[in-house]
């Protein structure tokens, strides 16, 4: 299945979690006919993944008038290596600006492979049509610590485990399906499509399918997508209930 179809990438699509948010957004940007890439949190410089990035207080006008797709819009270049994101309410102005999909990075994870959001996370706009909570299958078998998990103490609280314990497939499934994990802050009416990334070989795909089954046991979602997002053919499985 094509990645765009797998995650129903139409309208305002928000990526949260850890282990593939940026990879998902950039992969979708290259596949959606008219895509706008933006964020509600800090985002590393991503100019190479779009036709151009425009720093603007009026992102809707930029998207509406662009002839070059995909386009990136941000409010400020904060440092040499990153942009700031818009306030979530500002994303609503982009919903009807002419893009087929508005692709939004809606929280951060400091390059970790699994996370539980903080008190003020995620920053999902109320206009979101699709929310994709992400975790990496490569977190399984690793210790639940700061090297692998963003906010490991919160992951431990959600899963009933202890910091330092070995992460199991069921722990990743619990995080993705939990109201204080991947399901936190979902706007009313948004579709949630969890994604398990980094399934780069047959054994990892099998483990990712185990995670997907665990998500379906814990949450009412239409499907769980298993991916290797940096592969030419990124969708490895779509797991239905």
List the CATH number of the domain containing 227. Answer: 3.40.50
Structural domain count, the chain:
1
Overall pTM surpassing 0.95 (yes/no):
yes
Q: What is the pLDDT of residue 6?
A: 98
pLDDT tens sequence across 81-109: 999 999 999 999 999 999 999 999 999 99
Q: What is the pLDDT of residue 54?
A: 98
Residue 147 CA to residue 168 CA, distance in Å, equals: 16
Q: Length of the chain, please?
A: 241
pLDDT-above-70 percentage for the chain: 100
Q: Say how many Å lie between the first and final Cα of the chain, rounded.
A: 17
What is the pLDDT at residue 41?
98
Range of the domain at 231: 3-239
181's CB contacts (< 8 A; 6+ apart) are 116, 117, 133, 155, 158, 174, 175
Instruction: Judge contact between 145 and 163, C-beta under 8 A.
Output: yes
pLDDT category at 31 given cuts 50, 70, 90 is very high
Q: What's the token pair of residue 61? A: 């006008």
C-alpha span between 171 and 169 (Å, rounded)? 5
CA distance 12 to 92: 9
pLDDT of residue 9: 98
Neighbours of 65 (CB within 10 A): 10
Residue indicated by tokens 């990334």: 197
Average pLDDT, the chain: 98
Give me the pLDDT at residue 16, please. Answer: 98
């Amino acid at each position: 299945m094509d990645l765009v179809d797998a995650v129903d990438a139409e309208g305002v699509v928000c990526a949260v979690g850890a282990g593939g948010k940026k990879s998902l957004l950039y992969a979708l940007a290259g596949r959606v006919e008219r895509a706008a890439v933006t964020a509600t949190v800090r985002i590393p410089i991503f100019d190479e993944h779009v036709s151009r990035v425009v720093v603007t207080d009026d992102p809707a006008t930029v998207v509406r008038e662009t002839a070059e797709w995909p386009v990136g819009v941000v409010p400020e270049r904060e440092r040499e290596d990153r942009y700031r994101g818009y306030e979530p309410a500002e994303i609503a102005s982009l919903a009807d600006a002419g893009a087929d999909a508005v692709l939004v990075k809606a929280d951060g994870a400091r390059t970790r492979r699994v996370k539980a959001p903080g008190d003020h996370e995620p920053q999902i706009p109320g206009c979101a049509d699709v929310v994709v909570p992400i975790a990496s299958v490569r977190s399984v078998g690793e210790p639940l610590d700061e090297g692998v998990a963003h906010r490991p103490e919160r992951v431990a609280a959600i899963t009933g485990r202890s910091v330092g314990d070995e992460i199991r497939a069921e722990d990743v499934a619990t995080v993705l399906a939990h109201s204080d994990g991947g399901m936190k802050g979902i706007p009313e009416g948004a579709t949630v499509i969890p994604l398990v990334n980094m399934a780069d070989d047959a054994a990892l795909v099998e483990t990712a399918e185990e995670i997907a089954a665990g998500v379906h046991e814990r949450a009412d979602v239409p499907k769980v997508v298993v991916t290797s997002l940096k592969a030419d053919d990124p969708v490895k499985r779509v797991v239905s209930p």
